[in-house]
Amino acid sequence: MNLSKNEVAVLSLLMGAGEMYGLEMVRKSEGKLKLGTIYITLSRMEEKGYATSRRELEAAVVVPRRLYRITGAGAKLYRAWIAAEDVFNSRLCGVQHE
C-alpha cells in the first residue's frame, strides 16, 4: 500500500465530506495540501480509482468547478492505511495488540 502524504490528506478529507472542490480541500487541510499540487494529486487519484469527479452543473456558475468524492476502493484503501499506521505506531511505542 503506497500512498503519498497528499493522497492520505485528500482521502482523509473526502472520507466524511461527500463531495468537495479542490480549493476547498486546500483550505480545510490546515497547510497539508497546496494549491500547486492539489489538482495533480486528484488527477492521479482518479487514474488509480481512489477518487472520482463530476462537473458542477449550476446555471449561475460561469466556470463550472469539479466536485471530487472518494470511491469504494479509495475508502477501503484509506481504512487499511489507517489500520496499518495504528499497528506501526503501537509497535513503535512498545505496545502490541493481540
Q: Which domains does the chain have, with CATH numbers?
A: 5-92 (1.10.10.10)
Q: pLDDT (tens digit, 9 = 90+) per residue, 16-62?
A: 888 999 999 999 999 999 999 999 999 999 999 999 999 987 767 67
pLDDT grade for 95, boundaries at 50, 70 and 90 = low
**What does the pLDDT read at residue 16?**
84
HSE-CB of 22 using CA atoms within 13 angstroms: 22
Site of grid cell 503506497 = 2
**What does the pLDDT read at residue 68?**
97
Cell of 27: 483550505
DSSP 25-65: HHHHTTTSS-HHHHHHHHHHHHHHTSEEEEE---TT-SSPP
Q: What is the pTM assigned to this prediction?
A: 0.82
What H or E segment, with its residue span, contains residue 20? none
Q: pLDDT (tens digit, 9 = 90+) per residue, 68-84?
A: 999 999 999 999 999 88
**What does the pLDDT read at residue 6?**
95
